[in-house]
Structure 1
Amino acid sequence: MRHGEGKTLNYSDLTPVLRRLALEAGDAIMAIYEADDFDVKTKSDESPVTEADEAADALISAGLREAFPDIALVTEEQADSHDQEDADTFLIVDPLDGTKEFINRRGDFTVNIALVEDGVPTRGVVYAPAKGRLFYTDSTGRTVEETGPFDKNTAGETTPLHVGEPDNGSLMVVASKSHRDEATDAYINKYNVKDMTSAGSSLKFCLVATGEADIYPRLGRTMEWDTAAGHAVLKGAGGRIVRFDDHTPLVYGKAGFANPFFIAYAPGVDLKAP
């Protein structure tokens, strides 16, 4: 992987840093989550932000800038980082994905950190601290789930992940816990569904990566920092993410870092037209 002016970064240097920072951010988030109360503010786009978002963002940003000063950094909570769409390689962070789940103390929130190269998320970590689930791509790009308890400096036992083999007559579907709507339900109804589950944040990608679900359609607003880490985790487990409208691959570095509607799925699912 090349970055900066003639510099080379080994993926084996990247993975432990992303993993450690995600775990450290998770500790900072849980300290606030488990407090009696915490402050909630409203951003300019009317979305909520908490002191946990800000604490995790400060920790992750400082760690990434120290470790990889030559790689562009895009993070949800720093608007001045959102003008780097032309970077071929960048790190992208959502320090607390699923803020509504956090505020409502539902546990389905994650720390997301990813590396994007030439429009593709190639490495990533998704950590759900309240669930005790940690997913990441190793130095080869293969996705693993690590079982806790987690040591920040030494990886524990890991299980390689691979998407399931879908049965199109009996599909497992995962959908958003906070953003379900009639359009999503209408699209899901095009499939033969065995069962449905709901999950918050980027955990939905991880459920497809583990084989716990076969397809996750998203017909709603998302940003690249919401999806990049989950995309990398799913890709490293053999899954795919395509645009909802034309089923072409979802790419990154788009204007404003805004995503179109998309479908995440295990190969073998017979995708239906919109």
Structure 2
Amino acid sequence: MVADIDLLIDAAYASGEIAKKYWKKTPEVWEKSGGAGPVTEADLAIDRMLKSELMHARPNYGWLSEETEDTTDRLHCEHVFIIDPIDGTRAFIEGSPTFSHSLAIAKNGVVTAAAVYLPALDRLYCATKHGNATLNRDKIDASTRSKIDGATTLAAKTNFSAHLWQGPVPQFDHHFRSSLAYRLCLIAHGRFDVMLTLRDTWEWDVAAGSLIAERAGACVTDQIGQRALFNNPRPMLHGMVAAPPEIHAGIISRLAPR
């Protein structure tokens, strides 16, 4: 039987082939209800393909995807796919190359295999629970920086609001990418030091990237310092912080209580 990680890699490449048919070609776009953001015909086409192919290969696995109506069936499964067909849909609509496909498998709440693919840049990030983090099959490592002030940080500006911190907000060197999965992979690759999202976060946005960053050597938890567990009845986490261990500990200690 094909290994889970190889199954995800093949599916990630197939997702990219579909995405490239729509990218920069003005795909049809709809706004989701409840202010949940945009979805395109490409998101839906990729989601249909992934669910068909992956569930055919692993019929006993559960299914959780941003673009599939959720059911409680997955809660009774030991393994579950956690999928974001296109993470960074706004970037995709704008023609930016920084959108990604985020694919993960969790076993009893712990991510065991992950692939994040950026087809426009041909970058495939992968990890397994007991293996290295890789970019296009080459091993990658996270930053080893220890000082918070000056750390290069990927986060939306809202994460630096004073009410989220105890005392002064650290003097981060602030940057942004729209895809949370890609942000976590950039942490894994050591291109930035810190990734922050200090609001409740959908599991499909961070499941794959969190394992990749962790296997690269970053410390990855929710914003209260607890290891993230996936496949929750309400599939959201208390934010996410990924950083080298010393910086991570400093950030957690300086965040305001939730």
TM-score (structure 2 length as normaliser): 0.87
Does the 8 A contact of 2:112 with 2:129 survive in 1?
no
Partner of 1:4: none
Partner of 2:242: 264
Instruction: Map 1:243-254 to 2 at 5 A.
Output: 243-244=222-223, 246-254=224-232
Secondary structure of the 1:254 match is coil
Structure 2: distance between partners of 1:145 and 1:52: 25
Which moved further from structure 2: 79-88 or 41-50?
A: 79-88
Partner of 1:207: 186
Task: For 2:139, give the aligned amino acid.
Answer: P
Say if 1:85 and 1:57 are closer, same or farther in 2 by CA, change over 3 A: same
For residues 24-47 of structure 1, give each alpha carbon's deviation from its aligned partner in whole angstroms, at most 9, with x where no partner exists: 101101110132x21101223332
Q: Which runs of 5+ in 2 are unaligned?
A: none
CA-CA distance at 1:86 after TM superposition: 4.6
Structure 1 position 184 matched with structure 2 position 160: yes
Does the 8 A contact of 1:85 with 1:257 survive in 2?
no
Count matched residues. 246
Partner of 1:38: 27
Structure 1 position 218 matched with structure 2 position 197: yes
1:273 is aligned, of 240, 244, 254, to 254
Secondary structure of the 2:228 match is coil
Structure 1 position 55 matched with structure 2 position 35: no
> Which is richer in helix?
2
Does the 8 A contact of 1:204 with 1:216 survive in 2?
yes
Instruction: Map 1:58-77 to 2 at 5 A.
Output: 58-77=48-67
Structure 2: distance between partners of 1:42 and 1:229: 25
Runs of 4+ in 1 over 4 A off after TM superposition: none
TM-score (structure 1 length as normaliser): 0.82
Task: For 1:253, give the aligned amino acid.
Answer: N
Query: What's the % identity of the aligned pairs?
Result: 25
Task: For 2:151, give the aligned amino acid.
Answer: L
Secondary structure of the 2:17 match is helix
CA-CA distance at 1:220 after TM superposition: 2.8
Does the 8 A contact of 1:208 with 1:216 survive in 2?
yes
Say if 1:170 and 1:184 are closer, same or farther in 2 by CA, change over 3 A: closer
1:115 is aligned, of 91, 99, 105, to 105
Q: Which runs of 5+ in 1 are unaligned?
A: 1-8, 147-157
Does the 8 A contact of 2:61 with 2:74 survive in 1?
no
Task: For 1:263, give the aligned amino acid.
Answer: V
Secondary structure of the 2:155 match is strand
2:78 is aligned, of 66, 75, 88, to 88
Secondary structure of the 1:136 match is strand
Structure 2: distance between partners of 1:139 and 1:263: 19
Partner of 1:237: 216
Task: For 1:266, give the aligned amino acid.
Answer: P
Does the 8 A contact of 2:97 with 2:120 survive in 1?
yes
Partner of 2:135: 145
